Amino acid sequence: MSNRWSLVIPVKTLVAAKTRLAAALGPHRERLAVAVACDTASAALSCPGVARVIVVTADPLAAGPLGELGAVVVHDPDRGLNTALRTGAAHAVRLAPDDPVGALQADLPALRPSELARVLEQDFEQGFVPDALEVGTTFYGVRPGVPFTPRFGGESRARHLAGGAKELALDGIDSVRRDVDTPDDLAAAIGLGLGRHTAAVVGELERAGRWPVR
């Protein structure tokens, strides 16, 4: 059995992305959303346990840069997050039916390949990583032959537990758990160390006087 993963990353249309950061970021919001997705995908592609990254999006402004990084881009049918993930997972199975498949949130700008590798090396048939608040989920994955049933959105940690997924409660994977929805989340990610795409946009925000939020 292969231990090389296919990871599916869903990327919203930019007009709907990071709306809770709109007041702080203004015209930089959409660029930050692309940058964060690019850093997430770059880290995943650099992880030794990952064979391929499949991005599911309907937005060409996100699809272009992510494709240039080496991600496989699949069109989002626009029927919700979990449908997007299942669409990407189905494509992953067509490409590599014997590889495990995982879903990774697109807003992990501090993601470290070594910490993601620790998650993927764990022993589970169906598993997930809770977000930093222990309410949501940042990663969900299954081994070959196990139904791929993501339950993202809202209080997804409880739903993944109820669905029989193993919680991967590991120390030292802060970058896998730190998704970014609010200015406080972004500040926490900065503390962990941003990827180069997000760091560049944050630098622009600082020069424009929009960061840190006052």
Residue numbering of the annotated binding site for phosphoenolpyruvate? 137, 153, 156
Here the tokens at position 108 are 């992990």
Known binding-site residue numbers:
137, 153, 156
Here the tokens at position 214 are 């006052």
Residue 32 is which amino acid?
A: L
Rounded CA-CA distance 70/87 in Å is 19
Rounded CA-CA distance 36/30 in Å is 10
Here the tokens at position 90 are 């189905």
SS3 144: coil
Rounded CA-CA distance 75/60 in Å is 10
Element (H, E) at 69: helix 60-69
